Amino acid sequence: MPAPDRVIVVGGGVAGLVAARELVLAGREVVLLESSDRLGGQLTSHAVAGIQLDAGAEAYAQRGDDIPRLLRALGLHDDIVTPVEAPAWLHRADGSAVPLPATSLLGIPGVPLARDVIEAIGMRAALRAQLDNLLPGLVAARAETVEQLVLRRMGRGVLDGLVAPVVRGVHSTSPAEVQVEQVAPGLRALMLSAGSLAAAVRARRAKAPAGSLVASLRGGLFRLVDALVHDLDRFGVEVRTGVEVVAADGDGVTTSTGERLRGEVVMAAPLGVDAPRTRVTVVTLALDAPELADAPRGSGVLVAQGVPGVAARALTHLSAKWRWLAEATPLQLVRLSYDDGVEVTPELARRDAEALLATPLPHPVDTATVRWERTGRRSDPAHAIDGMRRVGRLNPAPVSPPSSHTPVR
Ligand SMILES: Cc1cc2nc3c(=O)[nH]c(=O)nc-3n(C[C@H](O)[C@H](O)[C@H](O)COP(=O)(O)OP(=O)(O)OC[C@H]3O[C@@H](n4cnc5c(N)ncnc54)[C@H](O)[C@@H]3O)c2cc1C
């Protein structure tokens, strides 16, 4: 019997929700299966001091027009916000702190001999980075990881002093683990046309709308989930929560209760992904500390590896970063991220915040802690918030045409 003209979307995170919406708009009958009792996956919120805040992703990369177009279609376009222009800081292994170079991408400087670069990594390392301008664009054009690219073009000083803390803070891993195309798609091609890595960084920065590489929604990025769910309901997608898919093949899926659903499969969950899991703990503190309103460390602090006395790997000063939040409450909101293996308590987070913001801080008015387990780090493009087109990439075999499917478990 031929499979029905139905698409089964597995996973109700943002990728699954966006895929389901696109498919139903393309005229397909769509069923979305989500194993938990909640839609949104890593896009969700929690209340801190009575304010609803993002508990997972809080911003999206401004690359291309896909997300703005989606937000327009969902009626959220007028709520797009960009962060306050305040550089993040770098807390170095020796305990000192410097602003991250203004013109940079992933910590890669666009102007290696700029004063802020020299201040961050020293003249010798900056001069080595400047060699990038003399190397042909072809050098390291095929580098796969960020480490290979930066090491060959700009040297160890930039890699260890700038790029590693940024990658660690933003992607919870080391530059050796991160594929360039994953985190900076098109950067190597831009390097070839622009002639150097620094020139590619400058070109990429200049292209970012409103000068910012990221954007979000007033009120929190999690609002995207409600808007998507509302649309799925409006367009007649059958959404089933509490349904775990345990196997999928070219003909459909099997759930943990043994139910078999037939149809084309779009995989937006880490089923069959053979990749390590990473655990991240995020603590948000609401502080009655008006002195922080001056944003002593800009939008936040990225922490180099091995800083004595600090366990956090990054701090985001939410109230300094997002204007709408500063307007919403006189409290100061900071969020700290921790890697696996750290026994995280709100008191530890408060002490880390004190060290990183270089300011004595009172006991928080309120705190919230979320522990995340992220699966499939090596498949992150498939998980990316703007990665809908790759939604099927989690499946070892393409999901279409059905005949090419490989069962996944
Ligand atoms: C603390 C934190 C901060 C982040 N910050 C940012 C940021 O600022 N910007 C950014 O771009 N990204 C950020 N990310 C990453 C971003 O949130 C994710 O890349 C994105 O939300 C992943 O969406 P997804 O739909 O692919 O996967 P998920 O959100 O993981 O959704 C997958 C869904 O599938 C369900 N599922 C799993 N297995 C099954 C199964 N067998 N059957 C049925 N359902 C299943 C899960 O329950 C889940 O709901 C952050 C992540 C975290 C944890």
Distance 189 CA to ligand 1 centre (A): 28
Report pLDDT for 399: 26
Q: Sign of the C-alpha dihedral, residues 289, 292, 293, 299?
A: negative
Q: Block means of pLDDT (10 residues each) for the chain, length 409 residues?
A: 77 96 95 97 95 94 88 97 90 90 93 96 97 93 96 96 90 89 91 95 80 87 98 98 92 94 91 73 97 94 89 95 96 95 95 96 97 62 34 32 29
Report pLDDT for 206: 84
Report pLDDT for 405: 28
Report pLDDT for 275: 65
C-alpha to C-alpha distance for 247 and 4, rounded to whole angstroms: 18
Report pLDDT for 376: 52
Q: How many residues does the chain have?
A: 409
C-alpha to C-alpha distance for 179 and 200, rounded to whole angstroms: 17
Give domain 277-375's CATH superfamily: Protoporphyrinogen oxidase, mitochondrial; domain 2 (3.90.660.20)
Report pLDDT for 375: 64
CB atoms within 10 A of CB 16: 27
Helix (H, G, I), strand (E, B) or coil at 150: helix
Ligand 1 pocket test, candidate residues 17, 371, 385, most atoms within 8 A of CB:
385
Ligand 1 pocket test, candidate residues 42, 172, 277, 371, most atoms within 8 A of CB:
42
CATH architecture of 6-81+218-275+376-404: 3-Layer(bba) Sandwich (3.50)
* DSSP strands (E only) in 162-294: 214-217, 238-241, 245-249, 252-255, 260-262, 264-267, 277-287
Residue 2 is classified by DSSP as P
Report pLDDT for 27: 94
Q: Where are the domains of the chain?
A: 6-81+218-275+376-404, 101-211, 277-375
Sequential DSSP letters for 111-129: STTSHHHHHHH-HHHHHHH
Report pLDDT for 396: 29
CATH C-level class of 101-211: mainly alpha
Question: 248: Cβ below 6 Å to ligand 1?
Answer: no
Which ligand 1 atom sits closest to the C-alpha of 221?
8
